[in-house]
Every structure is written in structure tokens, then in C-alpha cells.
Amino acid sequence: MAGVENGARDYARRCVVRRMMMLAIVGVLLVPFIASARQAPAGLGMKVLVENERVRIQRLSVPAGFKDPVSVAQNDQIAIQITAGEMDVTIGDKKTVGHVDPGTTFYVPKNVQHQFNNAGKTGYDTIVVMLK
């Protein structure tokens, strides 16, 4: 009789462990989607141009003096400058300061800290391609 009780208890523990593992897996799978869906910081104009299971492309309108919070992307990103601007860009340990012409591109690897600040007196536009 004791063997039956121990077997039932072991079965119940395995069920609890399975449920916890499933919740953990679902949580891990949702993190990139939650992070990529974050709202634009105040003052930043953001328009999603393309969104599918492989890529998100958005146009950002960055006002003069805008300070981007330091962030870490959960995916690889490519920023393409659309209009000229005075920028202060940090990607990992690389820093770019000064005038940036249209067509200039920046690659932001996933899991690397980055920050894009508008150091100028006018706004600029950029396209950001996020690979999923």
C-alpha cells in the first residue's frame, strides 16, 4: 500500500514539474515579442512599415535634442539614416559623434547595449530593420 502512495506522490510531483517547465518555456518564447513591442519613448515618432514573423521595419522621427535611453536589443538591428542629422551614437564600446549623412548605416547586434541621441537642433528620420 505504501508503494502505491509513493507512486501517486511521484506522479503528482512530475505533473507539477512539467507544468512549471511549460510555463518557463512559454515565458522565454514570449520575451522577444514583448520587448520588440515596447512603446516609443516620449517625443519619438514611430511608424511600423512592415511586421511579420521574420522582420519588423519601422521609421523613426527623432526630434532635436532627443535622448534615447540605453537599451539592449533582443534581436539584430540595422539602422539606416534617412535624413542628415547631428548624432551621438553608442553601440557597445563604439561611439560615433557628429554629422551623419543620409544612407549611413549602423548595425546593432543582439544583446549589445546601444543608444542613439539627437545632438542637433533639428530632427532627423531613420529606418530600423529588426531581424527576428
pLDDT per residue, tens digit, the chain (132 aa), is 555 566 667 776 666 556 555 544 544 444 444 444 455 667 789 999 999 999 999 999 999 999 999 999 899 999 999 999 999 999 999 999 999 999 999 999 999 999 999 999 999 999 999 999
Is 40-131 in CATH node 2.60.120.10?
A: yes
The CA distances from residue 102 to 79, 84, 95, in Å, are: 11, 5, 18
> Whole-angstrom Cα distance, residue 131 to residue 54?
6
Contact 105, 99 (CB under 8 A): no
Q: Domain segments of the chain: what residues?
A: 1-37, 40-131
pTM beyond 0.85: no
